Structure 1
Amino acid sequence: MKKSKILLGLALTGVLAITLIAADHIDAPAVQGGKSDITDLYAFQGSNTNNMVFVANVQGLLTPTASASASFDENVMVEFNIDNNGDNVEDLVIQAIPRNGVMFFFGPVAPGTAGTTSMVKTEKPLGSISITPYGSEPIITTNNGAKMFAGLRDDPFFFDFGQYSAIIAGTATSFNNPGSDTFAGSNVMSIVVELPKSLLGGTGTLNTWVETKKK
């Protein structure tokens, strides 16, 4: 595991609109600027309230020039971890692995082992999707009740890093409204999977986090 995010307390009850957001751009020295660097995890209820959506973004701050040649690393698996019984240990994983221009998804399935070492769970294929080429309309596929996407997207996270730095330095006391988006014009490589809540187990709260794992 090169880098992980742990985010706790994602409720799934009723028709409550749920959004969980985290961002973490290029601040882990071991993966900074690499293809396993996680920038964002999003988890939220789908427009179909019976579904959950999981989004993992990697390779932050891609310029338009860098975006044209950006690709997923075939030696890096992106793994969504789901704890459905509150013990902060993954009960289910959804794995995304790129090969030859296609993103293959496996799960949700119990991991072979919990923690930082994983085995690809090929016995539980969820589906696959052609990775959307640069400058193309998004390719989305539906299989086994799940929707999937993989490819380049505009960085969705808004943050005024300049004003943040000024606040930390003591030369400003608050953010501006709306402020300046540091990430405007930059892109990320994004993996999206939407699937029925019934596949995730549990009836109350889910804890979810995402990891990138190198072969």
Structure 2
Amino acid sequence: MRNSIKAILASAALGLAAVGAFVAASDHDDGEADTKARALNLTDLYVFREIDQNPRAKADDLIFVMNTNPRSLARQQYYFSTNARYEFRLTRVLGKDDPATGQTDAFFRLEFGAPDKSGQQSITLTASRAGVTRTVKATADGKPILTTPLTAKPIINQVPLDRGAISVFAGLREDPFFFDVEQFFRVRAGLAGLGPSVGFRSPGHDFTAGYNVNSIVVRAPMEWLTAGSIAKTFDVWTTISIPDPAKPGEWRQVERLARPAVNEGLLLTNDYLNTLNAVGPDFEAAVLAGDKAAGEAAAPIVGEISTVLKLLGNSPERISALLGAFLPDVMRIDTTGPSGYANDLNKRGSPVRGRMLKDDVIDITLQVLSNGAVKGDNVSYDGPNAGGTKHKPLLGEFPYLADPN
């Protein structure tokens, strides 16, 4: 059993960085910096066909969820940064087996105004696809696009675009992620010879229990996303950018996130995490393609991860195979089949059906990488987890995430 866990965690280490591993959700605190407050910290990305969450929904709509501001305390109002751009970016892909390029074919950008007396923030939405970019500040009925205050019912903003409107929600929600991260760190320390040898406890402790996150949820019609192409598959990632003090008028990316996995522990140097947060998946594509400059920039990061992987007993051959499956770091969704992180793999061994809100991405990762030898961390969305904790029921309609604590 110890050898099985050892192999899993060595492989799962690849979920902790974008070059030599996948920069992934849930990064509830990766790459902390003085200039990056929690409102600028991504936690998770979810992408799924709405009909798979709600059988009454339209068949051709996709849901995009970006969660930020980790460990937001219950009954406390938190706000989106007024000095940032929050973006969903995507690439149109012809087939699920095609290599990821990390190129941006379309994006949704949200910028937030200062909160008013009721705790609401105005939203400026910029949507771009097929070379056409449009910025909108009002809903279809002419009202401002607004966030939802802590104690209010979800405000669903219907925003007009060409080829159909999109729906936008922004506000506090219960954090849907679940993981016994403390025990993972103990297991990792034991495997590295830095502590006693332990396994996962049962039941596991859910480290997000009782916390909220600031969520952005967008519902978009496939017709808008495809932009007249035949694409049914998309690569998706999220970013947060702030004004660059060294380059007036320009923006500097400080966060990036796509695949779900553990990414908080095994890339040890904080500067490396910040470096990876500042680049896009196109950088990883360049590294894999043999670009000399990109390879040289990535070398120290790859070296650190390789050292950790060696300590955990991973072979060079296995590292190479997993890198081929999970780089560049994008969340791929093939919309021709049901959404779900475990529902399908492409020929590279990469998940290609997005991610649903209740997907147990930790257990899925452990099971896949161990060929089923380890079942997971013994934490689930519905619980009961250690202490009797569980998450609130999801809403039956958009924006689907549970009400905040």
Smaller-chain TM-score bracket:
0.7 to 0.9
Q: Matches of 1:52 and 1:158 in 2, distance apart?
A: 23
Correspondent of 1:176 among 202, 207, 218: 202
| Structure with the bigger percentage of strand | 1
In structure 1, list runs of 5 or more residues that go unmatched: 7-20, 113-120
Correspondent of 1:74 among 77, 82, 104: 82
Correspondent of 1:138 among 146, 151, 154: 154
Matched, 1:28 2:31: yes
How far 1:124 moved relative to its partner?
A: 4.2
Looking at CA atoms only, which structure, 1 or 2, has the larger radius of gyration? 2
Correspondent of 1:195 among 220, 231, 248: 220
Matched, 1:165 2:185: yes
**TM-score (norm: length of structure 2):** 0.42
How far 1:51 moved relative to its partner?
A: 0.6
**Amino acid of the structure 2 residue aligned with 1:186:** Y
Matched, 1:207 2:235: yes
Aligned match of 2:62:
52
How far 1:166 moved relative to its partner?
A: 2.4
CA contact (8 A) 2:168 2:218 kept: yes
Matched, 1:63 2:77: no
Q: Matches of 1:88 and 1:205 in 2, distance apart?
A: 14
From the superposition, tell whether residues 104 and 72 of structure 1 become closer, same or farther in structure 2 (CA, over 3 Å).
Answer: same
Identity of aligned residues (%): 29
Q: Counterparts of 1:102-113 in structure 2 under 5 Å?
A: 102-109=122-129
How far 1:150 moved relative to its partner?
A: 0.5
**Amino acid of the structure 2 residue aligned with 1:204:** K
CA contact (8 A) 2:73 2:212 kept: yes
Correspondent of 2:41 among 31, 37, 41: 37
| SS state at 1:72 partner | coil
How far 1:52 moved relative to its partner?
A: 0.7
Q: Matches of 1:152 and 1:110 in 2, distance apart?
A: 32
Deviations 1:89-121 (A, max 9, x none): 011111111124112222143579xxxxxxxx5
CA contact (8 A) 1:26 1:33 kept: no
How far 1:198 moved relative to its partner?
A: 1.3
| Structure with the bigger percentage of helix | 2
Q: Matches of 1:97 and 1:25 in 2, distance apart?
A: 22
Deviations 1:122-160 (A, max 9, x none): x34385631111122111122332111001111110111
In structure 2, list runs of 5 or more residues that go unmatched: 1-16, 19-23, 52-57, 94-99, 115-120, 191-196, 244-405
Q: Matches of 1:111 and 1:152 in 2, distance apart?
A: 33
Q: Matches of 1:27 and 1:197 in 2, distance apart?
A: 32
Q: Counterparts of 1:91-110 in structure 2 under 5 Å?
A: 91-100=105-114, 101-109=121-129
**Amino acid of the structure 2 residue aligned with 1:45:** R
**Amino acid of the structure 2 residue aligned with 1:210:** T
| SS state at 2:188 partner | helix
CA RMSD of aligned residues (A): 2.5
Mean Cα deviation higher: 189-198 or 123-132: 123-132
Aligned match of 2:118:
none
Mean Cα deviation higher: 153-162 or 85-94: 85-94
